Chain A
Amino acid sequence: MKTCTEKIFFDLPLTLESGSILPFFELMVETYGELNSVKDNAVLVCHAFSGNHHAAGEKSEETKAGWWDQMVGDGKTIDTSKYFVVSLNNLGGCHGSSGPISVDPTTNLPFGAAFPAVSVQDWVSAQKHLLDHFKIDSWEMVAGGSLGGMQALQWAISYPDKLKKAAIIASSSKISSQNIALNEVAREMIRKDENFFDGNYLAQGSKPKQGLKAARMLGHITYLSESSMSKRFGRKLQNPETRIDTKVSYEVENYLQYKGEQFAETFDANSYILMTKAMDTFDPAKDFGQDLVECFKQIQAKLFIASFNSDWLFPKEYGKDIQISAVKAGVRSSYVELEGEYGHDSFLFHSDNYSASLQNFLETNDELS
C-alpha cells in the first residue's frame, strides 16, 4: 500500500461558521493507494472525535496501526489497491493541522484557548480544499463513523455534486441532551484541572493532564458496550505486580487508567473541548428551519446509513431517523442495523456483514437514477 503523509499549507482565508476568519490554515493529510487516470477512485475518510490523519497501516514500529486499519488497506473493505483514500487531521486537531497548539503568528505563542471554535461544517469547508489540492472533481465516497459520519452527511448537504456516495456510520444528524451532558462532564473535568489556566496552559509551560485523563476515561466507557466490557474484563482483579497505581483493584480500572494516561500524553485539552463542542453543535437542519427533510432535499449522493445494536451512545434510532428523513426527501439511501459487539466503537472494527455491506455500497456503480 502506497502511503504518503504530508502537511499541506493553504494560503487562503477560511471563514468559519462563527464568523471568525483563519487567514491561512494547514491540514495534516495521509493518503493510501493511488489516484487513477480518470480520477474517479478517490475516497475521503473522516475521523471521529479523537482520531487523526493516520487511518491505516503502521507507519513505524513506534506508531500504532491507524484508527480504521481493519477497514482500509489492500484487499480490505475500502480496498486501497482500487481506491485512493485520503485521510486528514481536522482543523482544530492536535496532530499537525492548524489548531490550538499551532503558533498564532500575531503573538508567536500557541493559540491555546484563542483558537476559534470550529464546526463540522467548517471541517467540511476545509476538506473541500483537498479536492482542489489533489485536482479531483468529486469523491467517489466520503465515509466516517460517529463524528466522522456527521462530516460525511454534511458533505452530502453542503457540496451535493462533489461526492457520489456518503457512508454515515454509527452517527446522527444531531446528538441528544444525554450526549451533550456527557461531553460537558468531560469538559468540566478538564477545566477544573489546576493546570488548565483557562486554556492557556501551553504559555504557562504546563498541561492539564489529570483532567484530560479523567475526561478520556469517562469517554472511553461510553464507547464500549456493557457486554464487551463484561467479556473483556468481567470482575477480574488486576495483578498487583502489573498495576499502574496502588489504588487499582480491578482489571477494568487498570485499563482505563492506562488508556487515559496514554491519551493525556498525546492529546491536547483545548482540542478535546473544541471537538466535543463541534459534536454538540452539529445540526444541519438548523439552516432549514429545523426541517431535516428540507435539508436533505439538497442531497444528490447515495447514502449508506449504518447503526450498531450494541451502541448506546449513538443508538440505532439516530441512524433510523436519518434514513426516514432521507426517504421522505427522496434521497437514495440504505439503512442497515449491524450486530457489532463493541458498542459505539464497533464502527472501527471489521465484521462480516458490516464490511460486506459497506464494500457493496462503495463498489456498486449502477446506472439507475
Chain B
Amino acid sequence: MNSLEHIVINWVEANSKVIDFGCGDGSLLKSLSRAKGTTGYGVENDPLKIQDCIKNGISVIQQDIDAGLLEYKNMGFDVAIMASSIQCLRKPKEALQNILEVANQCVITLPNFGNWELRTGLLKGKMPSSPQLPAKWYETTNLHLCTIADFEELCAAEQFNIHKKVYLNRRGKTSWLTNCFPNFLAAEAVYLLGK
C-alpha cells in the first residue's frame, strides 16, 4: 500500500460512501473498502482502466469528469476523492466548487510544481519532469499545474476549508524538513477539504 492510500484510509470514516474521480484501476477504492468497509464508486473515462476496475470488483462509471461532476450531487456521498487529477481538468476552480457539492469532505492530491527539482529543471531552460510528472510537455494531460502556495491561495480566496493536509517528499514520505518548506521540498500534497 502506498503512503497516499495510508493517508486516505486514516481520514475516511468506516462505512462511508465514497466516490473517486479519476479512479484509475480502482486500487484506492479497493484498499478503502477492505480497510474501512466503504461503499465505493469510481469515475473514469479510459476504457482499459475501466476494464481493470471491473476486474478488481470495483463499481465504476464511465464519464468525462470535465463534463459532469455535478451529476453526482445529492447522491449521498460522504467523501469525494480526486487524486492527481485536478491539474488535468479544464476548469479546476469550478471543479473544486462542484466536488464540494458532491460530498462534504473531499480528498484532493496534487503534484507540487514548486518542488526544487522541478525548479532546477526549469532553470536549465527545459520543461522539467519528475516521478510525479513523468510525461513530456507534448504528451502530458496536465493543463493547470500549480504549486502548493498557488493551491492554498486559491483555497483561501474561495473559502475552501483545508481540514487536514499532508506534504510528501519525493520518496512519498512526510518529514520535519518538508513540513518546514513544503512549497520547495514537497513533491506532492494531500488535502482534506470541506466547505
Residues of A participating in the B interface, judged by any CB pair closer than 8 Å: 302, 304, 323-324, 327-328, 330, 332-337, 353, 356-357, 360-361, 364-366, 368-369
Contacts and interface: CB of A to CB of B under 8 A. Distances in A.
Contacts of A369: 37
B54 A330 contact: no
A364 B62 CA distance: 19
Contact of B57 (A324, A333, A336, A368): A368
Interface residues of B, number: 24
Contacts of B71: 324
Nearest to A307: B62
Interface of B: 17, 30, 33-34, 37, 39, 41, 47, 50-51, 53-62, 71-72, 75-76
Given A334-B60, A334-B61, A353-B51, 10 more contacts: A327-B41, A327-B75, A333-B59, A334-B50, A335-B61, A336-B50, A337-B62, A353-B47, A366-B56, A368-B34
A327 to B, nearest CB: 5
Contacts, number: 56
A353 B51 CA distance: 8
Given A332-B39, A353-B47, A368-B34, A327 B54 contact: no
7 contacts: A330-B39, A334-B54, A334-B61, A337-B62, A364-B55, A365-B57, A369-B37
Nearest to A323: B61
A122 B39 CA distance: 33
Contacts of B61: 323, 327, 334-335
List of 4 A-B pairs having minimum Cβ-Cβ separation, nearest first: A366-B57, A360-B54, A360-B55, A334-B60
A18 to B, nearest CB: 36
A328 B75 contact: yes
A292 to B, nearest CB: 13
Contacts of A334: 50, 53-54, 58-61
B190 to A, nearest CB: 24
Contact of A357 (B51, B58, B76): B51
B75 A364 contact: no
Given A332-B39, A336-B62, A368-B30, A357 B57 contact: no
Nearest to B77: A327
Contacts of A366: 56-57
